[in-house]
Every structure is written in C-alpha cells, then in structure tokens.
C-alpha cells in the first residue's frame, strides 16, 4: 500500500486567503485510516479561527474543517473492516481510555483530537484519522449523498447531545435561542422529542425557517430587553396552556445577549443549556439557580456513541438537513469565506473536493 497524494487549503495567518497546496499521506498504521473526503461543512468555529478570535491548538499552517464525511480508501491493520466504507468523522475524537471517556464524557476527553484544530482537517481531498470512533454509514442511504452527511459531525450531533443532557420529555416546553446553523436542528430535535418549541432570534428569515422546520412559536428579540422576551414567552405559555415550569432552554446563538435571555428565562425546575460559544462575559445572579432549583449545563461537541442515532433520524426524515445546506466546490473556498463573514449565506456551505 503506497502513499496517498492529496491537496488541501492551508490557513497560514489571519486575514490571508487560504493557500492550496499538495501534500502526501503515508500509509496508515495500527488503527489509522485515510478518508477520501466527500464533503466538509463550513462551521462558525472555522470563521473564528480565520478571524483570529479563536486560536487553533495546532501551530499554523493548518488545514481547517471539522464537519467531514467520506470514504475510507486506506486502512491500517487494525481498521481493515472500515476499508471501502462511507463514514462520518466525529468533530471530537476521544482517546477512549481516560477517566472522562470511561465515565461517559468522551466528548470532553482531555486527549481528544479535533480535525482542523489539533491536526489537518477537512478542507482537503483526503484526511488521515484514527479509525476507532468513526461513524459508519449504512449501506443504503437512499437518495442522500455521502457529502450531505458531513454536517452531522457538529451541527446536528451537538444539539442532539444537548437534548439528551436536558432530559427533555414529551409534553415539555423547549425554548431555542438562536435558530441558525445549530439552533435550527435543536428546534427540530426538540419537536421530534414531543416538546412544544419556541424559537427566539433577531433574524425574521431564520424564525420563518424555524417555524417551517420544527418550532411552534417564534419571538423576534431584536431591540427587546431580556424582560420583554421573558414576558412574551410567559404570554405564549398562558395563552396556549403550555407547561408552566421545567422549561428546557437551549442557548445556541453564541452571543452574550442570547445568554442573558437564556438566564432570564430560568424558572422553577428549569434547565439552561449553553450550546453556543462566545468570548464575551456576562453578569448574572447565580442565586437564581438556587432559588429556582434549576440546572445549568455546558455542551462541547458530541460523543461518538450518539452519531448512529442521529444518522437514523436524518435517514427517516425526523431531521431535515437538505433544506439547510448547499454544496460548493472546495476550490471556491476563498470566494465563499467573505460571504460567510458578511452573513450573506442563508444555508450552511458544504465544500466538495
């Protein structure tokens, strides 16, 4: 088995275009594999790296991209069963052996490896990764393309794990703050779980999409205070005889304003999940958590064990990904990035080599 010739778009420095360069992947050893990439989604985290607001763990230059699907075209001796299989590469690859992994928290493994952060990622033709935690796709994926499953690696699995952490039950109330690339799936998953879903955003177009894909009600929070938003939620609850307590609130916007709204909505036995990320700080009264006997949790990625269940939901139509993504050639990446920074993309871009 010889070496694999590949190419990728390397991020070298803030503000500079990504540079296309060829590289060579050595034959995989042990349980490592080489995946021929079918698609790689463009995530908000990638934009954070490029803007310099978030640092990569690896030194630059580095190929970014962590929402990856493709075909295993080479495999080490311990991963031969994966050869020729279509897979999703989890955005968080745990070690599987540490205290956190053995405690069921592999998504936050301190030895985790993240494509496009710890090592060269998916804005490339091929990628070398450990084979132990890959999610193998079924042999029959219907009319879907393998490239379309790339967004599962973060945009869909991250809210799914948050849903599991929240213990949302049928008949409950779910409030999703920010219904963009991750929040739209949070709304879908919450509705699929049997909850009533209220979507909150400052973008009316996103709210309209959320109503079509999962939300029962929407609130445009633009120019509203946290108290105003809380009053509107309470009015919806009263008018529609929804659950008065034990609300599950998911903050997916990754903004301080969104987090402030989320905290303001905490009520008796409520749960607040912080799913979006921001470097901004927030001043809150933590005693509210005590007074309401409430729960607050954070969410980092998704452990690989959950991936098959999410794939099944996409295949059976419980989760709609097709209306939220658009494929672009990988070679157009430097034209697409400015559009992403200027918020001119209405759908998540999947780059296809």
- Residue-wise pLDDT for 111-162, tens only, equals 999 999 999 999 999 999 999 999 999 999 999 999 999 999 999 999 999 9
The boundaries of the domain holding residue 30 are 4-154+302-352
Q: Are residues 291 and 320 in the same domain?
A: no
The predicted pLDDT at position 278 comes to 87
Q: Are residues 228 and 312 in the same domain?
A: no
Which of 276, 298, 320 is the C-terminal boundary of a domain? 298
The predicted pLDDT at position 170 comes to 96
Number of independent structural domains in the chain: 2
- Residue-wise pLDDT for 264-323, tens only, equals 999 999 999 999 988 899 999 999 999 999 999 999 999 999 999 999 999 999 999 999
- The band of 2, judged by pLDDT with boundaries at 50, 70 and 90, is confident
The predicted pLDDT at position 15 comes to 83
- In our burial notation (b when 16+ CB lie closer than 10 A, e otherwise), range 164-175 reads bbbebeeebbbb
Beta bridge partners of 32: 130
The predicted pLDDT at position 1 comes to 61
The predicted pLDDT at position 314 comes to 98
Ramachandran bin of 269, using left for φ above 0, alpha for ψ from -120 to 50, beta for the remaining angles: left
Q: Are residues 227 and 276 in the same domain?
A: yes
The predicted pLDDT at position 122 comes to 98
Residue bearing tokens 């205070």 = 225
Beta bridge partners of 249: 175, 272
Q: What share of the chain is helix, strand, coil (3-state, %, to 5)?
A: 35, 25, 40
- Residue-wise pLDDT for 62-115, tens only, equals 999 999 999 999 999 999 999 999 999 999 999 999 999 999 999 999 999 999
pLDDT (average), residues 51-57: 92
Say if residue 237's pLDDT is above 90.
yes
- Residue-wise pLDDT for 7-25, tens only, equals 999 999 998 999 999 999 9
Counting Cβ atoms within 10 Å, is residue 220 exposed (0-12), middle (13-18) or buried (19+)?
middle
Angle between helices 307-315 and 157-166 (to 10 degrees): 110
Beta bridge partners of 218: 199
Pairing of strands 135-136, 126-130: unpaired
Q: Are residues 48 and 145 in the same domain?
A: yes
Q: Are residues 180 and 282 in the same domain?
A: yes
Q: Are residues 64 and 80 in the same domain?
A: yes
Q: Are residues 282 and 216 in the same domain?
A: yes
CATH code, 169 = 3.40.50.720
Mean pLDDT rounded to a whole number for the chain: 96
Q: Are residues 278 and 315 in the same domain?
A: no
The predicted pLDDT at position 160 comes to 98
DSSP calls for 147-204? GGGGGGGTTTHHHHHHHHHHT--TT-EEEEE--STTHHHHHHHHHHTT-EEEEEES-H
Which of 252, 281, 298 is the C-terminal boundary of a domain? 298
CA–CA dist 134, 83 (Å, integer): 12
pLDDT (average), residues 216-221: 98
CA–CA dist 74, 67 (Å, integer): 20
CA–CA dist 186, 263 (Å, integer): 18
Q: Are residues 175 and 308 in the same domain?
A: no
Q: Are residues 150 and 161 in the same domain?
A: no
Q: Are residues 258 and 212 in the same domain?
A: yes
Pairing of strands 173-177, 248-251: parallel
- Residue-wise pLDDT for 162-203, tens only, equals 999 999 999 999 999 999 999 999 999 999 999 999 999 999
Q: Are residues 289 and 314 in the same domain?
A: no
Structure tokens, 292: 């309401």
Residue 153 phi, psi dihedral angles, 5° rounding: -65, -15
The predicted pLDDT at position 53 comes to 87
Structure tokens, 337: 């990035």
Which of 298, 319, 339 is the C-terminal boundary of a domain? 298
């Amino acid at each position: 088995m010889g070496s694999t010739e590949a190419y990728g778009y390397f991020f070298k420095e803030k503000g500079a275009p990504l540079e296309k360069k060829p590289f060579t992947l050595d034959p995989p050893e042990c349980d490592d594999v080489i995946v021929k990439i079918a698609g790689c989604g463009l995530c908000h985290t990638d934009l954070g790296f490029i803007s310099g607001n978030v640092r990569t763990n690896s030194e630059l230059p580095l190929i970014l991209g962590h929402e990856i699907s493709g075909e295993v075209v080479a495999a080490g001796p311990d991963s031969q069963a994966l050869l020729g299989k279509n897979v999703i590469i989890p955005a968080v690859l745990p070690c599987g052996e540490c205290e956190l992994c053995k405690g069921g928290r592999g998504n936050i493994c301190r030895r985790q490896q993240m494509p496009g952060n710890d090592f060269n990622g998916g804005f490339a033709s091929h990628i070398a990764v450990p084979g132990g935690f890959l999610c193998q796709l079924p042999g029959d994926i219907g009319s879907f393309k393998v490239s379309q499953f790339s967004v599962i690696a973060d945009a869909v699995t991250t809210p799914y794990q948050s849903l599991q952490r929240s213990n949302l039950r049928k008949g409950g109330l779910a409030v999703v703050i920010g219904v963009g690339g991750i929040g739209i799936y949070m709304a879908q998953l919450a509705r699929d779980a049997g909850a009533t879903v209220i979507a909150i955003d400052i973008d009316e177009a996103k709210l309209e999409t959320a109503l079509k894909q999962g939300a029962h009600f929407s609130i445009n929070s633009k120019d509203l205070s946290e108290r105003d938003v809380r009053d509107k939620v309470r009015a919806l609850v009263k008018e529609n005889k929804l659950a008065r307590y034990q609300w599950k609130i998911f903050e997916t916007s990754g903004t301080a304003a969104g987090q402030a709204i989320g905290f303001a909505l905490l009520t008796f036995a409520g749960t607040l999940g912080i799913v979006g990320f921001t470097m901004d700080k927030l001043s809150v009264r933590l005693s509210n958590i005590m007074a309401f006997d409430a729960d607050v949790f954070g969410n980092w990625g998704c452990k690989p064990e959950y991936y098959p269940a999410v794939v099944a939901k996409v295949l059976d139509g419980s989760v709609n990904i097709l209306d939220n993504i658009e494929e672009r050639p990988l070679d157009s990446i430097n034209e697409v990035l400015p559009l992403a920074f200027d918020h001119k993309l209405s759908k998540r871009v999947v780059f296809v080599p």
